[in-house]
Amino acid sequence: MTETTSCQAESRKDRKHVMLNPGNASNVYETSDETMKTKQTILGALLAALVSTASAENTTVSAIISNCGGSTNSLPCRFTFALNAAPGGQVVNAMVILPVRCSGAGLQPCLKLMLENPDGTRQFLADDTLNPNEATAHFFVTSFLRGHAGATNFPFYVEPVPGPCATVHTVAGRPAILEIQSAQTPPWKLDDILAPVWKSHHLVNETVLPVSRDGGRPEGRLMFTPVGKVVVRNYALDKTYQEGADYVVDGNRIRLPAGSSIPFMTWQQLYPDSADAPPKTMRSWNGGYVAFTEGSFWNDRQIAVTYDHEEDWNGPIPSTAPGQLPQTKAKLRAGLPFKVALLGDSISAGASASKDRPPHVPGWGELAMDGLRRHYQSAITFVNPSLGGTVSAWGKKVAPFFIAPEKPDLCLIAFGMNDGGGVPVNQYLANTKAIIDSVGQENPAAEFILVASWPPNENWRKLARMDGYLAGLKSLESKHIAVADVWSVASYILKAKRYCDVSGNHVNHPNDFMVRIYAQVTDALLDADKF
C-alpha cells in the first residue's frame, strides 16, 4: 500500500526513459558505484556527438559531456548533439536527458539548459528542478526543435541556478541524450485541443474510462449528448474502435457490448476493500481504499471520444480578465518579447501529461504557451522550475532564487493540491503573497495569474480547506493580479464524469483532457481563447 498527501511526480525512470532503450533501459541509466567514481577525462569546449540513430518516428542522439566545473564534474557543462539528418515530419516531442548526481545540503537545485549561439551568447531553452536522489535531469525542448526544422547541430550548455542549493555533478562516462519523436501527421491539432469546452460544439478527444458496476455492462459518461458521427479511439490515438462491435452510443453514454475490445474496470477495482489490491492503493478518508498508480496504467484504459453536440455549457464561464493584466496584454498585442514564469507542484511540472509517450500532449504550462504563440507574434520565453510534491511554502522559499531573478513579465503561481492536505487558507494565501512580493521586488511591472487547482478525488481526500482556496485567491485580485479558476470548471465537469475519466493517477493528477482545461482557462485570461 502507498499512502501520501503530496502531489508527487512520477518515477522518472519509468515515466521518461522508456523510449531510449526499450530492450534494457538499465544499460543506459543505471550507474554502479565504480562508474560513479570514474574520473571525467574529456574536458574542453564543444564536442561532437558520438552516436546518431534515426527512423521515421524516433531519433536518439548521444553526446560526450564536457565539464566546466573542475575535477568534481560539477556543473556547468556543455555538449553538442549532431544529427545525421533532420527529423522527418513534425516534432511531437523532444527531450534532453542529462545524467547527474547531487551532493551537499541545501534547496533542490534548478538547472537551466541553454543554446550556445555562434556569437558566444546563450539562449534559455528549458529548466528542471531536481530532488536530491534523482539520477537524471530532463529538459523538454519540443517547441525549440519545431522552430528549428532542418537543423542538425545543437550545442547546449547547462548551468545551475545560483542559490543555496545542493551541488549537481555530471556522471563520468555517461553521455547526454537527445530524444526526438516525430510524425508525418500529428495525432491532434492545437486548435482542436485548445478550443474552450465552454464555447465549442465540437469536442475532440474527450476521455472516458468505461466502468462496470454491480456486474452490469461497462459504460462511460460524456459531457454532452453526441449528434451525428462519433469517433472513439484509444488514449494514444493510434487505434480506432468500431461502433456496434466495440461500443454503442446511448445518449451521453458509451456502452460496451459483449466482446468489445475496449478495456474497462470494475467499480470494485477502482475502490477496493484491500490495501494490497492492484495496481496500488491510497487509503480513503471515509474508509476503504482508492486505486492509484502513476505511469500509463490509467491512460491504457481510457478512450478518447470525438463528437459534435448541440447543448449549451451550463457551467461557470472562465474570466477573460477585463480591465486586468493590461501590461501583459499590451506587450502580447504589440508582439514584444515576453517572459512567463510558472511556479507550482507536480501538476505544473507536467506529471501525468503524456508528453514523451503518445499522444504527446505537453504539460499545461507549455500547452498554454503554445496557445499564446499561436495567437500572438511575441517571442515567448517560458521558465518553469515547478517540482512535484511541493507546497506553497516551498514556493515562498525558492521564489527569490528560481523566479524573481528572471524578472518575468507574467508569473503564474499554481500551488494548492498538496497544500489542501492540511495548510489553512490564511497560510496558503500568505505564502502566495510572499511569492508575489518576491517577484515584484525584482520587477515591479510584473503581473500575475493565480491558478486555482482542480480538486482531488473526493473519495480519496476531503475537499475541506482546499475548497476555500479559490475565494482566498480571488481576494488577492487586482488590476495586475488575475485568477485562473480551474477549480470551478473542473468541478462542473466532474458532475458529469467520473474522476477516473480525466485523471492520470486517480487521486490528484490531471490526464491530457484535464491538462487542456488548465491551458484553456489560463489562455482565456489573455484573450488567446479565440478561434
Render pLDDT for 371-428 as a digit per residue (tens, 0 to 9). 999 999 999 999 999 999 999 999 999 999 999 999 999 999 999 999 999 999 999 9
* The three cell numbers locating residue 161: 541556478
* The three cell numbers locating residue 166: 545542493
- Give the H or E element holding residue 14: helix 12-16
Beta bridge partners of 266: 212
Residue 234, phi then psi, degrees to nearest 5? -75, 170
* The three cell numbers locating residue 346: 507536480
Cell 506529471 belongs to 351
* Total-model pTM: 0.90
Residue 43, phi then psi, degrees to nearest 5? -120, 170
Longest alpha-carbon distance in the chain: 68
pLDDT digits (tens, 9 = 90+) for 223-274: 999 999 999 999 999 999 999 999 999 999 999 999 999 999 999 999 999 9
Beta bridge partners of 279: none
3-state secondary structure of 364: helix
Burial (0-12, 13-18, 19+ Cβ within 10 Å), 440: middle
Residue 398, phi then psi, degrees to nearest 5? -95, -15
pLDDT digits (tens, 9 = 90+) for 151-170: 999 999 999 999 999 999 99
Q: What is the per-residue pLDDT for 26?
A: 25
Instruction: Measure Cα distances from 351 to 355, 362, 414, 508 in Å.
Output: 9, 10, 14, 10
Q: What is the per-residue pLDDT for 15?
A: 38
From CA 215, how far away is CA 116, in angstroms rounded?
61
In this structure, are residues 514 and 498 in contact, taking their beta carbons and an 8 Å threshold?
no
Ordered by where they begin, the domains of the chain are 31-183 (2.60.120), 190-308 (no CATH), 326-524 (3.40.50.1110)
